[in-house]
Structure 1
Amino acid sequence: METITKLEIKDNTFARQFETKVESGIVSIEYSFQEKKIFLTKINVPDNHTDEEFISNFLKNIMETATEKKLKVVPIHPKIVLFFKKNPIYKELLPPGIRI
């Protein structure tokens, strides 16, 4: 399994998003829950933050959390769908019937 840089991620349940701090502000991934599934709906990044590797690592941290909580992950945002295509090891987190 590839190495994951652990990030300090806050689960902001009020705003329904995972958040982590970067130099230029806060990067967040919005979500919604339905039964035992988490729908990842949007990525918010500061205007001058273009580090795709950081976003990928942020998503890997979220996948670890989903695995620990036994949640299925439904990627809605195109960049998150692309993350699943590039990281097939996380495909077991997809609910039955979702093909990427």
Structure 2
Amino acid sequence: MKRLITISLHYYKLLWVYNLAFTLLATIIVWGYIGVLNAATFFIAKVIGFTSAMGLYYYSSSKSYFYFMNAGYRMRTIFINAAIIDACIYLLIVLSAVILKTCIR
């Protein structure tokens, strides 16, 4: 289990730059289209950003998947764990925004 978490974190580290760029772009697009930025619209942008980053990395760096497959885990498991890591980061961002908002008032 510890090795799976390490491998998932390594995969998420490879996606991080793409994920950040696509999430910011999706946030701007969703915010411009809906006009309100709350937790739900940010979640939509986060999902769009993560799936776009995963798709781009899958398309452009498919040869690096042999490293993860040779570790003995299916790529679906690593994808799901990376999505869970991304969801935990989303929850940390939302909870810190809520805490900051309540502390300022």
TM over 0.5: no
More strand by share: 1
More helix by share: 2
The TM-score with structure 1 as length reference comes to: 0.32
Higher relative contact order (CA 8 A, sep 6+): 2
Q: Between Structure 1 and Structure 2, whose CA radius of gyration is higher? A: 2
